[in-house]
């Protein structure tokens, strides 16, 4: 008993000593305090078109041109206005309630990724199943030149992803909301006639009214490359199925169609035309898979857009500027720092990177190394970049070391009880700004210094802020979109690398 007391006293003294010794050399930055974002209003189609045109001619193009090379892009550049999914939420919901929904969706998202990783050869001790999105497939896209960009909008009610864009499908194009998902491959949308369909904001797509809709034969090479290829009951038409961990699914015809991004037409995109859809999608018409698999949109159109795309996601609490996604060579900024993409032979959908450590307050966090994020022989482990996950999940030893280092560096802040999945929170009520220790993510070849708002976030309207990382018992770690906010994140698959440019959204 006495030895235990002495050990506790020693550890407490050590923490105090470290806190004191670090205080003189601790690197700090200012956190400007913002509250939870306000719910936005859904724009009408007419307002969408007017705002999109203004942004295409002005603000967004100016913003992107500061960091992107638009040579050869002027004729096909597209900038679309964003909308946040909370615009579809009931108007009586408060900011606190919307944030609670966000965290529930995030939990479902993480479970879906872990379920997919487990199904492909890895394993994880997850407590419950979640939806898995997309499939590994292969095809090739059109062979013409050009780039384009469009805007994306952050969502709140889906476990399928966080961000949405409005794009046209068919000829003439019918514009509708589509989920952008870097953790999925297949492109699909709801189609009429529909046996069972969820509610969506726009009218359902009718392939019979499109002049560019083409069926794909059952025995075609592209159909056979589906994970679960099949034939429709009537006719020699390819059928697809995407299943979700919660039992939801989308089933229908696999066909080719033209997609339109403002004035840029992209023909012959292989997509699922779902006639039986039961899942987590509310409001959006379907999903635009941006994964690394061979049937994802970037892969299908790789010969046209150079296997390159990027996005810049805005912190809605601190800015009214739009988020955006860009496809083509202009997606890769001249000012980016790059880290290699890592291949996982067991699972080709996700974008794996090599994280080798963290720094807090200017000092490397002991106990966190690249060994904690290695992919093993079964395909388990590793760390991925994901646009649809909000809160970064780190394998438990890495998270514990990072959290403890941050607690020491932030010891001057008043602590608060934990909140949901967050175990490190602070009471910052009555303040407009505070000084917090810096946090740097060290990748192989790239050091990414995070803005304070990317790791200390508001969780309620009472002034409680929490450290926006969490631990996971899974071997797979996920870098979420909170940590990616404000960066232009470029996926240069052609060169097998990912780039980061800070302060690129505003």
Sequence ranges of the domains in the chain? 24-36+336-501, 45-327
**pLDDT of res. 264:** 84
Neighbours of 220 (CB within 10 A): 15
CA-angle at 399, arms to 393 and 402, nearest 5°: 125
**pLDDT of res. 101:** 85
Looking at per-residue pLDDT, the higher value among 241 and 159 belongs to: 241
Q: Which of 79-93, 329-343, 434-448 comes out lowest in average pLDDT? A: 79-93
- Mean pLDDT (whole number) for 280-307: 86
Query: Is there a common fold for 24-36+336-501 and 45-327?
Result: yes
Does 447 participate in catalysis according to the annotation?
no
**pLDDT of res. 245:** 53
108, 247 Cβ separation under 8 angstroms: no
Q: Which of 59-63, 109-113, 274-278, 435-439 comes out lowest in average pLDDT? A: 59-63
Residue 13 pLDDT > 60: no
**pLDDT of res. 137:** 32
Does 376 participate in catalysis according to the annotation?
no
Residues contacting residue 404 through CB under 8 Å, at least 6 positions apart? none
Q: Identify the CATH number of the domain defined by range 45-327.
A: 2.40.70.10
- Mean pLDDT (whole number) for 12-27: 54
Maximum mean pLDDT: which of 27-36, 125-134, 149-158, 299-308:
27-36
Residue 444 pLDDT > 50: yes
| Structural class in CATH, domain 24-36+336-501 | mainly beta
Band of residue 174 on the pLDDT scale cut at 50, 70, 90: very high
Across 68-173, the runs of DSSP E, i.e. the strands, are: 148-154, 163-169
Burial status of residue 334 (CB atoms within 10 A of its CB: 0-12, 13-18, 19 or more): exposed
The one-character DSSP state at 489 is E
Three-state DSSP at 99 gives helix
Cα(132)–Cα(111) distance, rounded to whole angstroms? 8
Q: Which of 10, 80, 135, 22 is nearest to 323 (CA)?
A: 80
Looking at per-residue pLDDT, the higher value among 12 and 131 belongs to: 12
Neighbours of 303 (CB within 10 A): 14
Cα(310)–Cα(300) distance, rounded to whole angstroms? 16
Looking at per-residue pLDDT, the higher value among 2 and 354 belongs to: 354
- Mean pLDDT (whole number) for 385-409: 96
pLDDT digits (tens, 9 = 90+) for 55-105: 444 434 444 454 444 333 333 444 455 466 666 666 788 889 889 988 988
**pLDDT of res. 306:** 87
Band of residue 108 on the pLDDT scale cut at 50, 70, 90: confident
**pLDDT of res. 1:** 54
**pLDDT of res. 472:** 95
491, 498 Cβ separation under 8 angstroms: yes
Residues, the chain:
506
Residue 53 pLDDT > 70: no
Cα(115)–Cα(293) distance, rounded to whole angstroms? 17
Rounded (to 5) percent helix, strand, coil in the chain: 25, 30, 45
Residue 360 pLDDT > 80: yes
Residue 210 pLDDT > 80: yes
pLDDT digits (tens, 9 = 90+) for 198-208: 888 889 999 99
Share of the chain above pLDDT 90, in %: 48
Average of per-residue pLDDT values in the chain = 80
Catalytic residue among 106, 386, 460, 492: 386
**pLDDT of res. 435:** 97
Q: How many CA atoms lie within 13 A of 83 on its CB side?
A: 25
Give the CA distances from residue 90 to residues 65, 153, 348, 361, 503, in Å, rounded to whole numbers and listed in that order: 37, 18, 38, 42, 33
- Mean pLDDT (whole number) for 5-25: 47
Band of residue 313 on the pLDDT scale cut at 50, 70, 90: confident
Catalytic residue among 86, 106, 181, 492: 181
Residue 386 pLDDT > 50: yes
Name the residue with tokens 């032979």: 345
């Amino acid at each position: 008993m006495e030895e235990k007391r002495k050990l506790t006293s020693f550890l407490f003294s050590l923490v105090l000593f470290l806190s004191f010794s670090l205080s003189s050399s601790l690197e700090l930055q200012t956190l400007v305090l913002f509250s939870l974002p306000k719910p936005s209003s859904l724009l009408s189609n007419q307002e969408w078109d007017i705002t999109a045109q203004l942004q295409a001619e002005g603000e967004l193009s100016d913003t992107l041109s500061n960091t992107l090379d638009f040579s050869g892009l002027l004729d096909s550049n597209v900038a679309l206005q964003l909308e946040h999914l909370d615009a579809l939420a009931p108007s009586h919901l408060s900011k606190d309630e919307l944030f609670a929904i966000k965290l529930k969706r995030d939990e479902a998202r993480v479970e879906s990724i872990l379920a997919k990783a487990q199904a492909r050869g890895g394993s994880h001790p997850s407590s419950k199943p979640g939806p898995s999105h997309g499939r590994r497939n292969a095809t090739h896209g059109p062979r013409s030149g050009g780039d384009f960009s469009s805007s994306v909008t952050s969502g709140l009610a889906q476990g399928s992803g966080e961000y949405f864009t409005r794009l046209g499908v068919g000829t003439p194009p019918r514009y509708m909301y589509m989920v952008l998902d870097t953790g999925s491959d297949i492109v699909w949308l709801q189609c009429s006639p529909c046996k069972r369909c969820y509610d969506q904001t726009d009218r359902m797509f009718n392939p019979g009214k499109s002049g560019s809709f083409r069926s794909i034969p059952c025995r075609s090479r592209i159909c056979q490359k589906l994970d679960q290829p099949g034939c429709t009951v009537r006719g020699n038409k390819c059928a697809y199925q995407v299943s979700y961990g919660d039992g939801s699914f989308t089933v229908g015809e696999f066909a080719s169609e033209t997609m339109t991004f403002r004035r840029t037409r992209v023909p012959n995109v292989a997509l699922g035309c779902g006639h039986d859809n039961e899942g987590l999608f509310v409001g959006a018409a379907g999903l635009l898979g941006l994964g690394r698999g061979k049937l994802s949109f970037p892969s299908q159109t790789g010969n046209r857009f150079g296997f390159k795309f990027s996005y810049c996601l805005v912190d809605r609490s601190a800015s009214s500027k739009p988020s955006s996604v860009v496809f083509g060579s202009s997606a890769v900024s001249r000012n980016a720092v790059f880290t290699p993409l890592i291949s996982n032979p067991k699972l080709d959908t996700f974008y794996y990177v090599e994280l080798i450590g963290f720094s807090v307050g200017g000092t490397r966090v002991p106990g966190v190394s690249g060994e904690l994020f290695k992919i093993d022989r079964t395909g388990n482990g590793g760390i991925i970049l994901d646009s649809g996950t909000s809160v970064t999940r780190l394998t438990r030893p890495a998270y514990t070391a990072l959290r403890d280092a941050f607690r020491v560096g932030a010891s001057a802040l008043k602590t608060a009880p934990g909140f949901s999945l967050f175990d490190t929170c602070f009471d910052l009520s009555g303040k407009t700004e505070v000084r917090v220790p810096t946090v740097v993510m060290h990748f192989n070849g790239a050091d990414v210094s995070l803005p304070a708002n990317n790791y200390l976030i508001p969780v309620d309207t009472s002034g409680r802020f929490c450290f926006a990382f969490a631990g996971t018992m899974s071997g797979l770690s996920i870098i979420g979109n909170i940590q990616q906010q404000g960066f232009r994140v470029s996926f240069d698959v052609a060169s097998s690398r990912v780039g980061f440019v800070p302060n690129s959204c505003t």
